[in-house]
Structure 1
Amino acid sequence: MIHSFVGKIQKGISHFVHKRHGLNAELDAEDVREGYFAVVAVKNGEIKKFIIGLEYLSDPEFLELLDQAREEYGFIQRGAIAVPCRPQQLQTILDGQR
């Protein structure tokens, strides 16, 4: 199932932040360039937006977060993908691939 989810991401992601978590600011087109997508880390009241390169779609730790997002939120998410983790946890994953 996660491969289906990843396929949907790669086909195109809208440029609007998902409003489920009270994030009502829009991302401008220049904020999300080709080859990138928006992710919002949400946990225990902590919220932070990230613009992430498509290369993270092959990172096992990031894919685990996507699987957790699927379990918690389902596949119906609009705009930025909400992942159920603290922003520091997502930042650690992103820093690990550099």
Structure 2
Amino acid sequence: MERSEDSIKGLTKLKMLITKLQRGLFSASREDVDGKSGGATVVPKDVKKGHFAVVAEKGGKPKRFVLELGYLSNPEFLSLLEQAEQEYGFQQKGILAVPCPPEELQNVLKYKKRHRRIRTEW
């Protein structure tokens, strides 16, 4: 029973995040988040339809990534989103920040690509 409640909570959080992504709240530049840019939210040209931008900002220089929406079903990436919720809340504006070093996010992305490649080879 408790497991299904956790699953429902997780799906609800995921739905909230997807809704925000679809509205383009996470596509703005980091300057918009910091309030340094007074302009309206603009989706950068490198964020294509079906993609969203994130920034990994722990330890060292922050690094921006543009990801396919498919990463929202990756358990490792969802874990990073849960950490982001705990650390920053769902009130982030602009680009989505995840609390991990860029190298850690890069490893999550490589893992997903490997598994996608294996599935397509069969």
The reply to whether TM is greater than 0.5 is: yes
Instruction: In structure 2, list runs of 5 or more residues that go unmatched.
Output: 1-8, 114-122
TM-score for the superposition, normalised by structure 2 = 0.67
Matching of residue 30 in structure 1 with residue 25 in structure 2: no
Q: Secondary structure at the match of 2:71?
A: helix
Q: Percent identity?
A: 39
Matching of residue 11 in structure 1 with residue 26 in structure 2: no
| Cα pair 1:10 1:54 within 8 Å, conserved | no
| Cα pair 2:56 2:99 within 8 Å, conserved | yes
Show the counterpart of 1:49: 64
Structure 1 residue 59: deviation in Å? 0.1
Larger-gyration structure (1/2)? 2
- Rounded to whole Å, the distance in 2 between the matches of 1:27 and 1:64 is 28
Query: Bigger relative contact order, structure 1 or 2, given CA contacts below 8 A and separation 6+?
Result: 1
Show the counterpart of 1:67: 82
Name the one with the larger helix percent: 2
Instruction: In structure 1, list runs of 5 or more residues that go unmatched.
Output: none
Structure 1 residue 42: deviation in Å? 0.6
| Cα pair 2:24 2:43 within 8 Å, conserved | no
TM-score for the superposition, normalised by structure 1 = 0.82
Structure 1 residue 19: deviation in Å? 4.1
| Cα pair 1:18 1:79 within 8 Å, conserved | yes
Matching of residue 89 in structure 1 with residue 111 in structure 2: no
Q: What is the letter of the counterpart of residue 18 of structure 1?
A: R
C-alpha RMSD of the superposition: 2.7
| Cα pair 2:57 2:101 within 8 Å, conserved | yes
- Rounded to whole Å, the distance in 1 between the matches of 2:15 and 2:99 is 19
Structure 1 residue 40: deviation in Å? 0.3
Q: What is the letter of the counterpart of residue 72 of structure 2?
A: L
